[in-house]
Structure 1
C-alpha cells in the first residue's frame, strides 16, 4: 500500500506536464506571416506559414485576402510545386501613386489550391511565399485575413483582429507589422528586397537586393524566438518531472525499507 501515494504523485506530475504542453501548443498553430515585420515604404518577401491542426484531414486550399484600404501595387507569388496560385485584382476607389505612375487596381486575394494527391498532412505545415511592395507609410500594420480549407470540407477562418488590452482571439488574422524606415534619407530602403527566386516587382522598382540580409535576419529572429519558446516549455516540463523525482525519493527515504 506504500506505493499508492507515489503513484498518485506521479499521476499529478504527468497531468501538470501535459497541461503545460497543451497550453503552449496553440501558440505555434496559427496561420502567420514570417517575418512578422518590415519597413514602411519598401519591398519585402514574406511567407504565409500554414500548420495543419486537423488530425484526420489534410489542408488543400489557402485563401489570403490583401487589404485594399492600404493597397499594394506589386504582389507576386513564388511557384510552389504541387500548388496552383490564382491572383485576383480589384479596382481601387482612389488611385495610388507608385514611382510617379497612377495605379488603379491592386491584388485583393491570392488563392493556393493543392493539385490532386497533394495536401498539408496532419502534423505538417507549408509556407506560401509572396513578394510585396511598396509597403504603405501611413499605417503600422497590414492585416491579411485568411481561410484554410481541409479535404473533409472544414474551413478555418483566420480573420479575427487582436484588440489592445484584450487576449489574443482564437483565430487571429495574420499580421505584418510595419516599422519606420531607418536609412539616412528618411525613406528607408524604399526599394526593399525581392529574393532572386521571386520575380522582381514592376518596372522602375530597381535595386531590390539590398533588403535580402534584413529579411534573412528577421526570419532568423523569428526562428530563434520560436526555438526559445519551445526550449522554455521543455525546461518547465523537465523541472516539473525533476521535482516529482525528488519528492518520490524523499518519500522512499522517510518510509524506510519495506517490512
Structure 2
C-alpha cells in the first residue's frame, strides 16, 4: 500500500512531461518566415519553412499570398529541384513609386507545386526561398497567408492573424516583422538594401549566418524541451527513491 502514492507521483510526473512535449510540438509545426525580421526600406531573402505535420500524408503544394495593402515591387523565387513555382500578379489600386518609377502591379501569390515523385513526407520539412523588396516603411510587419495542401486532399489554411493580448491562433499566418533601418545611405534605405549580384537578392554570408542562427535556435528549443522532460522525470524518481528508503527504515 505504501507504494501507491509513489506510483501516483511517478504517473503525474510522466503526464507533466508528456504535456510539455505536446505543448512544444505545435510550435515546430507552424509554417513560418525565416528569418523572422528585416529592416524597412531594403531588400531581403527569406525562407517559407513548411513542416509536414500529418502522420499519414505528404505535402505536395504551398500557396503563399502576398499583402497588396503593402505591395512588393520585386519578388523572385529561388529555383528548387522537384518543385514548380508559379507567380501571379495583380493590378494595384494605387501605383507605388520604386526608384522614381511608377509600379502599377505587384505579385499577389506564389504557388509551389511538387513534381511527380516529390513531396514533403511525414517527419520532414522544406524551405521555399524568396527575395523581396523594397520592404515598406509605413508598417511594422508583413503578413503572408499560406495554404498547405496534402496528397490526401487535406488543406491546412495558415491564415489567422494574431491579435495583441490574445493567445496565438491555432493556424497563424506567417509574419515578417519590419524593423527601423539603423544605417542609412541618405535615402531612407539601408546601405545593404540593394539586391545581391546573384539576381535573387541573396547575400551569401548573411544567408549562411541566418541559417546558422536558425539551426542554433531550433537546437536550443529541442534541448530545452528535453531538459525539462528529464528534470521532471528525475524529480519524480528522486521522490520515489526517498519514499522507498523512508519506508525501509521504518520497517
TM-score, length-scaled by structure 2: 0.91
Are 2:40 and 1:40 equivalent residues in the alignment? yes
Structure 1 residue 213 displacement after superposition: 4.4
Instruction: Map residues 209-220 of structure 1 onto 2, 5 A cutoff.
Output: 213-220=205-212
The residue aligned with 2:228 is 236
Closer, same or farther: CA 85–109 of 1 in aligned 2, 3 Å: same
Closer, same or farther: CA 108–70 of 1 in aligned 2, 3 Å: same
The residue aligned with 2:136 is 136
Maintained 8 Å contact 2:64/2:146:
yes
The residue aligned with 1:256 is 248
Q: Helix, strand or coil for the counterpart of 1:46? A: strand
Instruction: Map residues 130-209 of structure 1 onto 2, 5 A cutoff.
Output: 130-185=130-185, 187-189=188-190, 192=193, 194=195, 199-200=199-200
Structure 1 residue 214 displacement after superposition: 4.5
Structure 1 residue 216 displacement after superposition: 4.4
Structure 1 residue 2 displacement after superposition: 5.2
The more displaced of 219-228 and 229-238 is 219-228
Query: Structure 2, unaligned stretches of length 5 or more?
Result: none
The residue aligned with 1:64 is 64
Structure 1 residue ranges (4+ consecutive) displaced by more than 6 angstroms after TM superposition:
none
Maintained 8 Å contact 2:24/2:225:
yes
Q: Helix, strand or coil for the counterpart of 1:199? A: coil
User: C-alpha distance in 1, partners of 2:229/2:191?
Assistant: 46
Query: Structure 1, unaligned stretches of length 5 or more?
Result: 201-207
User: C-alpha distance in 2, partners of 1:119/1:190?
Assistant: 39
User: C-alpha distance in 1, partners of 2:21/2:219?
Assistant: 15
The residue aligned with 2:216 is 224
User: C-alpha distance in 1, partners of 2:7/2:140?
Assistant: 54
Q: How many residues align?
A: 250
Maintained 8 Å contact 1:65/1:145:
yes
Maintained 8 Å contact 1:45/1:194:
no
Residue by residue over 1:98-121, the C-alpha shift from the partner in whole angstroms, topping out at 9 and shown as x without a partner, is: 111111111000000011121111
Structure 1 residue 199 displacement after superposition: 2.6
User: C-alpha distance in 2, partners of 1:73/1:116?
Assistant: 32
Structure 1 residue 163 displacement after superposition: 0.4
